[in-house]
Amino acid sequence: MAVWAFVPAAGSGVRMGVMTPKQYLMLHNRPLLWWTLDRLSCQPEVTGVMVGISADDSHWSDLKWHSGKMIGTVNGGDDRARTVLNGVEKLLEVGESEDWVLVHDAVRPCVTNNDISRLIAEVVASECRGGLLGAPIADTIKQVSKHRVRTTVDRSQLWRALTPQLFPLGLLHQALSNAIKEGVAITDEASAVERVGFPPLMVEGRSDNIKITHLGDLQLAEVILASQESVDRSEEDR
Ligand code: C5P
């Protein structure tokens, strides 16, 4: 069973309001993308890693990330779904339609190898044609319009969709192509696969697998990475 990892890293980071794309902002003296790629390449089940980068990316060559698992880059698209579709098309040139692809946001450097292993094991053992890491919503959720609360939403069935998300290459290719052709806005792989009739498996992951969206998230990610390292060290010492 081959499991490929694809990292969409072609965003411009406009929401963060800085000139450097957020995947290249520094985290513990290394670019954020370096940490993300390091986690994926250390994952024993992963066969190879491919990265989607923007055609005008001037930072990639300075990243200095080396791994025997790196199989190449692909040009990003106008949105995340198109970047992932480009990656899936390229991976289908080296892999088979039934191979798995783990799609993981470049801007989630705190994902743990343990969570990735559980996602792979639980999806493969299930009858589902794919799955994703997620976390149940802990806060009370309000529906708001023009800064007025319209209603309080029942959160009992609501989860946050995280990444990685794991699907067979062929199915993901069909689902993303279909959504793009029909002009449907897709913000994760699972929603494309749901549309073509395959409910993904939701696997509970750690809620500290945060997506770096605002500058303040970088400090939080530094604390999370440091705490994960100290837990790893104390487990090694035991
Ligand atoms: O913009 P957002 O935070 O949703 O981006 C999630 C991930 O998708 C990031 O890793 C970003 O680099 C990537 N992305 C991409 N191609 C785009 C837009 C976003 O690879 N056109």
The boundaries of the domain holding residue 122 are 3-132+161-236
Both tokens of 222, joined, read 């530094």
Q: Which residue carries 């994926």 as its tokens?
A: 40
Asked whether residue 45 is domain-assigned, the answer is yes
Asked whether residue 139 is domain-assigned, the answer is no
Asked whether residue 224 is domain-assigned, the answer is yes
53-68 per-position pLDDT tens digit: 999 999 999 998 889 9
Asked whether residue 229 is domain-assigned, the answer is yes
Pocket test for ligand 1, best of 83, 86, 163, 218 (most atoms within 8 A of CB): 83
- Determine the distance separating the centroid of ligand 1 and the alpha carbon of 103, expressed in angstroms: 11
Given the CA of residue 53, which atom of ligand 1 is nearest to it? 20
86-125 per-position pLDDT tens digit: 999 999 999 999 999 999 999 999 999 999 999 999 999 9
Split into its structural domains, the chain has a count of 1
Asked whether residue 140 is domain-assigned, the answer is no
Q: Can you give the three-state secondary structure of 45-107, one letter per residue?
A: CEEEEEEEECCCCCCHHHCCCCCCCEEEEEECCCCHHHHHHHHHHHHHHHCCCCCEEEECCCC
Q: Residue 83: which CATH number?
A: 3.90.550.10
Both tokens of 119, joined, read 């996602």
Contact predicate 166/104, CB 8 Å: no
Per-residue pLDDT averaged across 195-207, rounded? 97
- Determine the distance separating the centroid of ligand 1 and the alpha carbon of 149, expressed in angstroms: 30
